[in-house]
Amino acid sequence: MCLSDVERETGYTRQYINRAFHEEIGFSVIQFEKILRLHSAMQRLSEVPVSQRKSAELRVALEMGYSDQSHFIKDFKKYTGATPLQYSNQFCNMQSL
């Protein structure tokens, strides 16, 4: 369901929905959607075999709706503090403990 569907179903404006969502959740609808996508990306990256980690960044970026790898890496690092490759390596190291 997208925001325009919510507008149509509820009769509320996009601005009202965004403001109410932000007041209730603490994020805008767009920020929340990005967080959900990044969580999905984290899950995907944790499932990637060691031999495919480097190529997985682009594949996961595209699967998550990013048009390019660099924008995905920037958002991922901003959210997690690590690049997707660093995250994959750290996650794998934690799994082996």
Identify the CATH number of the domain in which residue 46 sits. 1.10.10.60
Q: Which helix (H) or strand (E) holds 70?
A: helix 69-80
State yes or no: pLDDT of 19 exceeds 90: yes
Percent of the chain scoring above 70 in pLDDT: 92
pLDDT in tens, 65-88: 999 999 999 999 999 999 998 998
Whole-model pTM?
0.79
Q: Please give the tally of structural domains in the chain.
A: 1
Contacts (Cβ under 8 Å, ≥6 apart) of 58: 69
Domain around 34 = 3-95
CA distance 9 to 7: 6
pLDDT in tens, 26-41: 999 999 999 999 999 9
